[in-house]
């Protein structure tokens, strides 16, 4: 009878040990899955970036329609990011040199470092930027709030 109990305790111990080992192994494999998923996400992003770089300045007719739409949406978002950066620069009363990237006082006419003529992003320019990058995607473009005081 005692032998039987001893056997059962032994079995329970082995089961617990096996469960722990399984858990450790499961965590290890989950770690591998996470690593691979991160790598996959980075590669997909690189693939998208490479495709965008290759085709964003090409006529949309040479792309398959579903790609052309995505490329145009990315261009619109990029243009919007530029507009928002310009808005922040206006709030901070600075302008960034297109050529060398340094910060200058907002009323600068030329870059004091590289001599580049400074072109400010005014409201009219913001509209031009959106036109250039495809304001045809009006649902995204029209969601931008232009504040003339900025």
Binding site for Zn ion (CB under 5 A): 97, 99-100, 111, 113-114, 116
Shortest separation between residue 57's beta carbon and Zn ion, angstroms: 25
Q: In terms of CB distance, is 44 or 114 closer to Zn ion? A: 114
CA quadruple 122, 125, 127, 133: dihedral sign: negative
The contacts of residue 137 (CB under 8 Å, 6+ apart) are: 72, 73, 76
Nearer residue to Zn ion within complex by CB, 103 or 122: 103
Q: At its nearest, how many Å lie between Zn ion and the CB of residue 89?
A: 14
CA 145/CA 135 separation, integer angstroms = 14
Rg (alpha carbons) of the chain, rounded to whole number: 29
- Give me the least distance between CB of 27 and Zn ion, in Å please: 52
- C-beta of 17 vs 114, nearer to Zn ion: 114
Q: What is the rounded CA–CA span in Å between residue 135 and residue 129?
A: 9
Considering beta carbons, is residue 79 or 97 the nearer one to Zn ion? Answer: 97
We find the least distance from the C-beta atom of residue 95 to Zn ion, in angstroms, to be 10
CB of 96 to Zn ion, least distance (A): 9
Q: Which is nearer to Zn ion, 108 or 135 (CB)?
A: 108
Query: Rounded to the nearest 5°, which phi and psi values hold at 105?
Result: -60, 145
């Amino acid at each position: 009878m005692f032998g039987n109990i001893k056997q059962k305790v032994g079995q329970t111990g082995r089961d617990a040990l096996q469960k722990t080992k399984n858990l450790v192994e499961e965590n290890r494999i989950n770690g591998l899955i996470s690593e691979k998923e991160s790598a996959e996400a980075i590669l997909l992003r690189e693939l998208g970036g490479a495709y965008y770089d290759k085709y964003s300045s090409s006529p949309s007719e040479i792309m398959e329609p579903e790609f052309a739409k995505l490329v145009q949406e990315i261009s619109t978002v990029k243009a919007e990011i530029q507009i928002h950066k310009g808005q922040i620069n206006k709030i901070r009363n600075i302008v960034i040199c297109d050529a060398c990237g340094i910060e200058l006082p907002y009323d600068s006419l030329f870059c004091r470092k590289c001599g580049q003529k400074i072109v400010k992003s005014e409201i009219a320019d913001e509209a031009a930027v959106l036109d250039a990058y495809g304001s045809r995607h009006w649902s995204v473009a029209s969601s931008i709030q232009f504040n003339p005081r900025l």
